[in-house]
C-alpha cells in the first residue's frame, strides 16, 4: 500500500489536462483550490497505514491474497459491507468533506459482478479483463474514479435519438485492437486526484443504443481526456493570502469536474462491456445501489462534524442550556443516526452475487439514499437555526486582523467568557463551509443528486417493493377468498 506522500508523488507523475477559470492548470497537486480535495483522499492512505484503523481501512484481497486498501477491495461478506459504511463514516469525521475515493470502490464492485454475468451469457472475456485491471489497481494502491453520469441532452430521448450523438458517451470507431470513444461524464467526483477512470453507461438501454453500452478503464492522463474543474461557492477564498479562519475547513475539501473524452482509444484488454445493451441496466442498478449505501456512511460522518460544530456554537454563545437547543441537537442526532442505520441495514441484508463478491440489499440502499435527499437538509436547517445569523454576516479574517478593527470585533462579537472571538469565528465558518461553502457540494446538493436524484430511488423502491405480496398478506388477514 502507498503512504500519503507516495500517493501525492504518484499524482505528480500524471500528465493531466485540467482547466480552471479558463486556463490550463500547470500543477494540480499544489494548486490551492484543488489541494484540499487531494488532502481528503490522502486521508484514505494515511488511516490505512495506522494500526488503529487497520481493520476498517484494509482487507485481504480475494484476487491476490495481499493486504490492500479497502477502497480497492471486492466485498467478500456482509461484514465487509458493514465495515465499508463504518470506514466512510470515519473518513467523513476526519475530513468534514467528500473524500472521493468511494466512487471507484463502488464501480469496481459493480463491474466485477456484471462482467461475470455478461461473460456467462455471451462467452466474452470481460471478467478476466476486469480482474487483471483490478489486480493492478490493488497492488499499486491506485485511485479509480467511477464515471457514470452522461450529460444526457434532451431527457425525453434515448442515447441514439439525441440531436448530438455525443450527449451520451459512445464508441465512434471500432478497430481490431480496441475502440475509440467520444463523449463526456459530468459531476466527476475526484477525477483530478485519480489515476484511472472506470467508465460505465448511465441508463438502461435498448438494442438501438449498442454504441452507448460501453464500459472500460483508462488512465486519467490518456490522450484525448481533459477536465473542466467545477467551481464551488466561496472557492476563491482559498487563494486569498494567509487564508485560514475564513475557510472554515482549511485542510480538506472535495471536487467535481466535467470530463471530456475527445476520441480516446481504449485497448481491447481494458473493455468490460461493448454493446451488450441488456446489461447496462444491471450495471447502473448495482453501481448506484453501492453508492447509495456509501452515503449512509460518508454523509453521516460529515453530519457528526456539523452536529459537533453546532453544539459548540451554542456553547460559545451561552445558549447550550436552552431546552429547545438541546432538543434540536437531539433531533439532528436522531436524523443522522437514522441515515447510519440505513447504511448498516442495507449492508447486513446484502447477499453474494454470482461472481462471488457481495452486494447490498437494493431496496434498503435506495431507502437509505432517499432519506439522504432529505435529512441533511433538515440537519443543516437546524444547524443554521442554532448558529444564528453570524455564520453569514461575520466580518472577514482580514478585518479581524486589522489593528484598528480588531478591538471592536473582539468587543462586539464576544460570547461567553473564556471563549475567544477567533474560536467563535472558526466554528461559524465551519458551519458555513458545510452548509453553503465549498463542502456544501458534498454535503447538501450531493445529498440530493449524488448517486442519483430522488426520483431514481423512488423508481427502484417501487420496483423492489413487492406490492403484490403485500396485497396477499392483506387478503389473508381480511379473509378475502382467492378466485
Which one of the spans 54-62, 124-132, 222-230, 447-455 is the region binding Fe ion (CB under 5 A)? 447-455
Residue 297 C-beta: closest distance to ligand SF4, Å: 7
Residue 304 grid cell: 457528526
| DSSP-assigned beta bridge partners for residue 184 | 260
Contact criterion met (CB below 8 Å) for 429 and 240: no
> Does residue 98 have an active-site annotation?
yes
Per CB under 6 A, the list member of 38, 57, 82, 98 interacting with ligand SF4 is 98
- Sign of the four-CA dihedral 384, 389, 395, 400: negative
Residues between 298 and 317 that touch ligand SF4 (CB under 6 A): 298
Closer to ligand SF4 by Cβ: residue 42 or 159: 42
Say whether residue 294 binds ligand SF4 (CB under 6 A). Answer: yes
Partner whose footprint covers residue 99, from Fe ion, ligand SF4, none (CB < 5 to 8 Å by kind)? ligand SF4
Residue 27 C-beta: closest distance to ligand SF4, Å: 24
Contact criterion met (CB below 8 Å) for 286 and 110: yes
| DSSP-assigned beta bridge partners for residue 351 | 359
Residues between 76 and 135 that touch Fe ion (CB under 5 A): none
> Does residue 351 have an active-site annotation?
no
Which one of the spans 276-284, 322-330, 384-392, 448-456 is the region binding Fe ion (CB under 5 A)? 448-456
Nearest 5°: CA angle at 412, between 411 and 415? 90
Which one of the spans 190-198, 235-243, 418-426, 446-454 is the region binding Fe ion (CB under 5 A)? 446-454
The residue with its CB nearest to Fe ion is 450
The contact pattern for ligand SF4, residues 154-173, with x = CB under 6 A and - = no contact, is --------------------
Contact criterion met (CB below 8 Å) for 189 and 100: yes
Say which of 72, 75, 78, 98 is annotated catalytic.
Answer: 98
What whole-number distance in Å separates Cα of residue 460 and Cα of residue 296? 17
Environment class of residue 411 by beta-carbon count within 10 Å: exposed (0-12), middle (13-18) or buried (19+)? exposed
> Does residue 116 have an active-site annotation?
no
Residue 146 grid cell: 467511477
Say whether residue 450 binds ligand SF4 (CB under 6 A). Answer: yes
Say whether residue 100 binds ligand SF4 (CB under 6 A). Answer: yes
Closer to ligand SF4 by Cβ: residue 261 or 295: 295
In 3D space, the residue among 279, 124, 146 whose CA is nearest the CA of residue 214 turns out to be 279
Grid-cell match 477564498, residue found: 237
What whole-number distance in Å separates Cα of residue 172 and Cα of residue 422? 57
Three-state SS string across 389-437, please?
Answer: CHHHHCCCHHHHCCCCCHHHHHHHCCCCCCCCHHHHHHHHHHHHHHHHC
Say whether residue 45 binds ligand SF4 (CB under 6 A). Answer: no
> Does residue 102 have an active-site annotation?
yes
> Does residue 189 have an active-site annotation?
yes
What whole-number distance in Å separates Cα of residue 459 and Cα of residue 440? 26
> Does residue 168 have an active-site annotation?
no
Which one of the spans 89-97, 311-319, 444-452, 454-462 is the region binding Fe ion (CB under 5 A)? 444-452
Residue 342 grid cell: 440505513
Residue 298 C-beta: closest distance to Fe ion, Å: 8
Contact criterion met (CB below 8 Å) for 166 and 96: no
Say whether residue 450 binds Fe ion (CB under 5 A). Answer: yes
Partner whose footprint covers residue 102, from Fe ion, ligand SF4, none (CB < 5 to 8 Å by kind)? ligand SF4
Which one of the spans 54-62, 215-223, 294-302, 421-429 is the region binding ligand SF4 (CB under 6 A)? 294-302
> Does residue 256 have an active-site annotation?
yes
Q: How far is CA 271 from the centre of its chain?
A: 24
Say whether residue 72 binds ligand SF4 (CB under 6 A). Answer: no
Size of the site for ligand SF4 (CB under 6 A): 13
Contact criterion met (CB below 8 Å) for 329 and 387: no
Residues between 404 and 443 that touch ligand SF4 (CB under 6 A): 442
Say which of 44, 115, 189, 373 is annotated catalytic.
Answer: 189
Contact criterion met (CB below 8 Å) for 379 and 335: yes
Residue 86 C-beta: closest distance to ligand SF4, Å: 13
Say which of 58, 72, 78, 102 is annotated catalytic.
Answer: 102
> Does residue 402 have an active-site annotation?
no
List of residues 6+ apart from 26 with CB closer than 8 A: none
Say whether residue 99 binds ligand SF4 (CB under 6 A). Answer: yes
What whole-number distance in Å separates Cα of residue 57 and Cα of residue 418? 39
Closer to Fe ion by Cβ: residue 104 or 450: 450
Say whether residue 103 binds ligand SF4 (CB under 6 A). Answer: yes
In 3D space, the residue among 311, 333, 308 whose CA is nearest the CA of residue 320 turns out to be 311
Edge-to-edge strand ranges of the sheet holding 225-229:
23-24, 18-20, 225-229, 257-267, 178-185, 170-175
Residue 351 C-beta: closest distance to ligand SF4, Å: 21
Which one of the spans 42-50, 57-65, 99-107, 347-355 is the region binding ligand SF4 (CB under 6 A)? 99-107
Size of the site for Fe ion (CB under 5 A): 1
Instruction: By CB under 6 A, name the binding residues for ligand SF4.
Output: 98-100, 102-103, 189, 254, 294-295, 298, 442, 446, 450
Tell me which residues are annotated as active site: 98, 102, 189, 256, 291, 295, 298, 446
Amino acid at each position: 500500500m502507498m503512504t500519503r506522500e507516495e500517493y501525492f508523488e504518484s499524482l505528480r507523475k500524471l500528465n493531466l489536462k485540467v482547466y480552471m477559470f479558463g486556463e490550463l492548470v500547470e500543477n494540480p497537486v499544489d494548486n490551492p483550490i484543488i489541494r484540499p480535495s487531494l488532502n481528503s483522499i490522502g486521508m484514505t492512505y494515511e488511516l490505512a497505514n495506522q494500526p488503529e484503523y487497520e481493520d476498517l481501512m484494509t482487507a485481504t484481497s480475494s484476487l491476490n491474497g495481499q493486504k490492500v486498501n479497502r477502497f480497492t477491495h471486492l466485498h467478500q461478506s456482509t461484514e465487509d459491507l458493514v465495515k465499508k459504511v463504518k470506514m466512510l463514516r470515519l473518513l467523513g469525521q476526519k475530513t468534514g468533506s467528500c473524500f472521493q475515493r468511494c466512487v471507484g470502490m463502488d464501480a469496481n464492485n459493480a463491474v466485477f459482478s456484471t462482467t461475470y454475468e455478461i461473460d456467462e451469457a455471451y462467452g466474452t472475456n470481460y471478467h478476466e479483463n476486469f480482474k487483471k485491471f483490478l489486480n493492478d489497481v490493488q497492488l499499486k494502491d491506485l485511485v479509480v474514479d467511477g464515471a457514470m453520469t452522461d450529460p444526457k441532452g434532451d431527457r425525453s430521448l434515448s442515447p441514439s435519438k439525441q440531436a448530438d450523438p455525443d450527449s451520451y458517451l459512445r464508441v465512434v470507431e471500432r478497430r481490431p485492437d480496441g475502440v475509440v470513444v467520444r463523449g463526456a461524464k459530468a459531476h466527476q467526483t475526484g477525477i483530478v486526484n485519480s489515476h484511472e477512470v472506470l467508465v460505465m453507461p448511465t441508463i438502461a438501454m435498448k438494442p438501438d443504443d449498442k454504441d452507448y453500452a460501453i464500459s472500460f478503464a483508462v488512465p486519467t492522463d490518456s490522450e484525448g481526456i481533459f477536465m473542466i474543474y467545477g467551481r464551488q461557492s466561496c472557492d476563491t477564498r482559498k487563494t486569498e493570502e494567509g487564508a485560514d479562519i475564513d475557510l472554515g475547513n482549511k485542510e480538506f475539501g472535495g471536487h467535481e469536474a466535467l470530463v471530456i473524452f475527445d476520441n480516446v482509444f481504449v485497448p481491447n484488454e481494458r473493455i468490460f462491456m461493448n454493446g451488450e445493451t441488456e446489461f447496462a441496466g444491471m450495471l447502473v442498478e448495482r453501481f448506484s445501489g453501492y453508492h447509495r449505501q456509501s452515503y449512509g456512511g460518508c454523509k453521516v460522518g460529515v453530519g457528526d462534524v456539523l452536529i459537533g460544530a453546532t453544539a459548540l456554537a451554542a456553547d460559545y454563545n451561552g445558549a447550550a442550556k436552552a431546552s429547545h437547543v438541546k432538543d434540536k441537537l437531539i433531533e439532528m442526532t436522531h436524523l443522522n443516526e437514522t441515515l447510519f442505520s440505513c447504511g448498516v441495514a442495507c449492508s447486513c441484508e446484502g447477499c453474494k452475487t454470482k461472481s462471488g463478491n457481495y452486494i447490498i440489499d437494493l431496496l434498503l440502499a435506495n431507502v437509505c439514499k432517499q432519506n439522504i435527499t432529505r435529512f441533511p437538509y433538515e440537519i443543516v436547517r437546524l444547524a443554521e437555526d442554532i448558529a444564528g445569523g453570524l455564520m453569514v454576516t461575520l466580518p472577514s479574517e482580514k478585518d479581524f486582523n486589522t489593528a484598528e478593527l480588531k478591538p471592536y470585533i473582539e468587543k462586539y462579537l464576544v460570547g461567553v467568557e473564556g471563549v475567544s472571538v477567533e474560536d467563535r469565528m472558526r466554528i461559524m465558518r465551519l458551519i458555513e463551509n458545510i452548509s453553503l461553502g465549498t463542502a456544501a457540494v458534498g454535503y447538501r446538493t450531493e445529498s440530493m443528486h449524488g448517486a442519483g436524484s430522488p426520483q431514481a430511488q423512488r423508481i427502484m423502491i417501487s420496483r423492489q417493493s413487492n406490492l403484490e405480496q403485500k396485497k396477499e398478506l392483506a387478503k389473508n388477514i381480511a379473509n378475502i377468498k382467492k378466485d
